[in-house]
């Protein structure tokens, strides 16, 4: 990998759509999907024709990394272009009624887009704080529909709250800033992919005449997994496969909606996952999965960018792009200002758009504060409890630890990692803190079940086999 300095913001004329309009942006963020779970990234188990077509018409980013190995910090980094640790959003995920949330002084990608005149909508799982001051409408989104945190934080989780062991309060479904329904059971869980897709498409249709930023963070394929019978049947009863294929359906519906409205050539769509695959998912050739030491499978995620007429069809790149680069890259795309507080991401727009000879803006890649990559060399605080050294060019599966053979390189990379951790520790900012925090709903009360709100009849969902 050759290092080149970050490119400057592009002149507006270079990034306009062919008809001169500013491009729309759609960012699809799957929960816990692994590197090897879609056909375009080598899956033979899952049928993902829409994602395969998206890759055939767009660009596969084979070395795209999220910044963290679980939901809350990964989303915080994506939304702010800043390492989660720097802004108090690292560590464990947020739980219902928690005081912590994204600080109001942080600038989100949605606020960047809003300031540039974009309509903004988020449909799906937020997970950056469930208190009123932490919800999406307080962070730059005009519209929101979805669940405020993970779908396993509900009374159906009989183990209770991970820390307090208390039973969970009902899982709310929120429209804008109001709770409008709740996820009552497995049947409601089985509708979560479709319901957020419906809301996203409605947003596209309503906002088709203005530039829009659509963020679609799917609650799927996070456990628990349930499927409607017809979708489970299509996947031979394999619910892990069924939920991936339903995500593929969702992508197909979104791209079809853009085509039908004649917006395909003026819309950049990016598809990726928030962290490595959870149990039942595949990392392909990579080691690891959700959580745990920072092996490639924990943080390298299947990523596709698509913009017919602008991104050349059928390409692939091995240039490194990270989730914190999305904010500055999209700000450059639309000619927006960067946040006033320092961010960590760099402009990787040329790589995202598949420009010939585009280069990664990263000389070093940090995997939280536990691993660092320079070129193809990677030092990781591994499962052994000590530092392990891998040559990713020869050994992408991180099977052969070369630390003992290259002590001087280990020391050099370790120093870089320590400097990185020290710099963040010296420049930390606070998370938001709600002193009146409590769960959004204590009981369902008069709220409808999700399927009642959607007008769907009762059905028997198919659960994941344990
Ligand atoms: Ca996740």
* CATH number of the domain to which 106 belongs: 3.40.720.10
Contact 72, 101 (CB under 8 A): no
Residues with CB under 5 Å of ion ligand 1 are 31-32, 71, 274-275
Confidence of residue 70 (pLDDT cuts 50, 70, 90): very high
Taking the centre of ligand 1 as the mean of its atom positions, its distance from the CA of residue 407, in whole angstroms, is 35
- 221 vs 31: CA distance, rounded Å: 5
Where on the phi/psi map is residue 357: left (φ > 0), alpha (ψ -120 to 50), or beta? left
Q: Report the half-sphere exposure of 226 (CA within 13 A, side-chain side).
A: 20
pLDDT tens for 21-53 read 799 999 999 999 999 999 999 999 999 999 999
Asked, for residue 206, whether it belongs to a domain, the answer is yes
State the virtual CA torsion across 184, 186, 190, 192 in degrees, nearest 10.
Answer: 30
Asked, for residue 310, whether it belongs to a domain, the answer is yes
Q: Report how many domains make up the chain.
A: 1
Q: What is the mean pLDDT of residues 415-443?
A: 97
Q: What is the mean pLDDT of residues 175-183?
A: 98
In whole numbers, what is the pLDDT of the chain averaged over residues? 95
pLDDT tens for 380-397 read 999 999 999 999 999 999
Asked, for residue 423, whether it belongs to a domain, the answer is no
Taking the centre of ligand 1 as the mean of its atom positions, its distance from the CA of residue 32, in whole angstroms, is 4
Asked, for residue 403, whether it belongs to a domain, the answer is no
Q: What is the mean pLDDT of residues 427-452?
A: 97
pLDDT tens for 200-250 read 999 999 999 999 999 999 999 999 999 999 999 999 999 999 999 999 999
The pLDDT of residue 21: 72
- 16 vs 292: CA distance, rounded Å: 42
pTM over the 0.75 mark: yes
Does the structure show a pLDDT above 70 at 419?
yes
Taking the centre of ligand 1 as the mean of its atom positions, its distance from the CA of residue 444, in whole angstroms, is 26
Q: Residue 235: give the domain boundaries.
A: 12-369+439-463
Does the structure show a pLDDT above 70 at 16?
no
The pLDDT of residue 453: 97
Does the structure show a pLDDT above 60 at 12?
no
Query: Percent of the chain, pLDDT > 90?
Result: 94
Asked, for residue 375, whether it belongs to a domain, the answer is no
Asked, for residue 148, whether it belongs to a domain, the answer is yes
Taking the centre of ligand 1 as the mean of its atom positions, its distance from the CA of residue 15, in whole angstroms, is 32
Taking the centre of ligand 1 as the mean of its atom positions, its distance from the CA of residue 156, in whole angstroms, is 19
Asked, for residue 176, whether it belongs to a domain, the answer is yes
The residue among 212 and 17 whose pLDDT is bigger is: 212
pLDDT tens for 120-169 read 999 999 999 999 999 999 999 999 999 999 999 999 999 999 999 999 99
The pLDDT of residue 465: 85
The pLDDT of residue 13: 36
Taking the centre of ligand 1 as the mean of its atom positions, its distance from the CA of residue 48, in whole angstroms, is 20
The residues annotated as belonging to the active site are 71, 127
Ranges 7-16, 20-29, 422-431: which has the least confidence: 7-16
Contact 391, 377 (CB under 8 A): yes
Taking the centre of ligand 1 as the mean of its atom positions, its distance from the CA of residue 375, in whole angstroms, is 27
Confidence of residue 292 (pLDDT cuts 50, 70, 90): confident
The pLDDT of residue 11: 39
Does the structure show a pLDDT above 70 at 15?
no
Confidence of residue 92 (pLDDT cuts 50, 70, 90): very high
Asked, for residue 82, whether it belongs to a domain, the answer is yes
């Amino acid at each position: 990998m050759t290092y080149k300095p970050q490119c400057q913001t592009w002149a507006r004329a270079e990034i306009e759509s062919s008809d001169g309009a500013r491009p729309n942006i759609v960012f699809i963020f799957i929960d816990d999907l692994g590197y090897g779970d879609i056909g375009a990234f080598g899956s033979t188990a899952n049928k993902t024709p829409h994602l395969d077509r998206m890759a055939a018409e767009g660009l596969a980013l084979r070395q795209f990394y999220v910044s963290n190995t679980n939901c809350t910090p990964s989303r915080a980094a994506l939304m702010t272009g800043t390492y989660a640790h720097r802004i108090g959003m690292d560590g464990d995920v947020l739980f219902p009624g928690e005081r912590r949330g994204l600080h109001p002084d942080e600038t989100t990608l949605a606020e960047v887009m809003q300031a540039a005149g974009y309509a903004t909508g988020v449909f799906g799982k937020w997970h950056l704080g469930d208190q009123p001051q932490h919800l999406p409408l307080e962070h730059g989104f005009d519209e929101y529909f979805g669940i405020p945190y993970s779908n396993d934080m509900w009374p159906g989780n009989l183990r209770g709250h991970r820390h307090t062991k208390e039973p969970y309060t009902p899982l709310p479904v929120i429209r804008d800033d109001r709770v409008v329904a709740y996820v009552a059971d497995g049947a409601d869980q089985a509708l979560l992919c479709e319901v957020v897709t419906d809301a996203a498409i409605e947003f596209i249709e309503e906002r088709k005449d203005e530039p829009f930023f659509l963020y679609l963070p799917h609650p799927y394929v996070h456990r628990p997994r349930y499927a409607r019978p017809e979708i489970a049947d299509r996947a031979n009863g394999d619910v892990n496969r069924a939920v991936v294929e339903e995500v593929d359906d969702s992508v197909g519906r979104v791209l079809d909606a853009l085509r039908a409205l004649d917006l395909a050539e003026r819309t950049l769509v990016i598809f990726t996952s928030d962290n490595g695959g959870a149990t039942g998912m595949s990392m392909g050739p990579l080691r690891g999965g959700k959580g745990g030491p920072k092996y490639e499978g924990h943080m390298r995620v299947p990523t596709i960018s698509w913009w017919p007429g602008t991104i050349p069809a059928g390409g692939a790149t091995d240039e490194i792009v990270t989730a914190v680069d999305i904010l500055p890259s999209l700000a450059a795309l639309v000619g927006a200002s960067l946040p006033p507080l320092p961010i960590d991401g760099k402009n990787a727009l040329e790589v995202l758009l598949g420009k010939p000879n585009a280069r990664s803006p990263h000389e070093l890649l940090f995997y939280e504060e536990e691993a660092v990559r320079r070129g193809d060399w990677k030092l990781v605080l591994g499962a052994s409890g000590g530092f392990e050294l891998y040559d990713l060019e020869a050994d992408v599966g991180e099977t052969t630890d070369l630390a003992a053979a290259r002590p001087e390189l280990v020391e050099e990379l370790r120093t870089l990692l320590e400097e990185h951790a020290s710099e963040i520790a010296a420049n930390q900012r606070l998370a938001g803190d709600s002193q009146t925090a409590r769960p959004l709903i204590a009981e369902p009360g008069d709220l409808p079940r999700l399927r009642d709100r959607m007008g769907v009849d009762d059905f028997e969902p198919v659960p994941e086999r344990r």
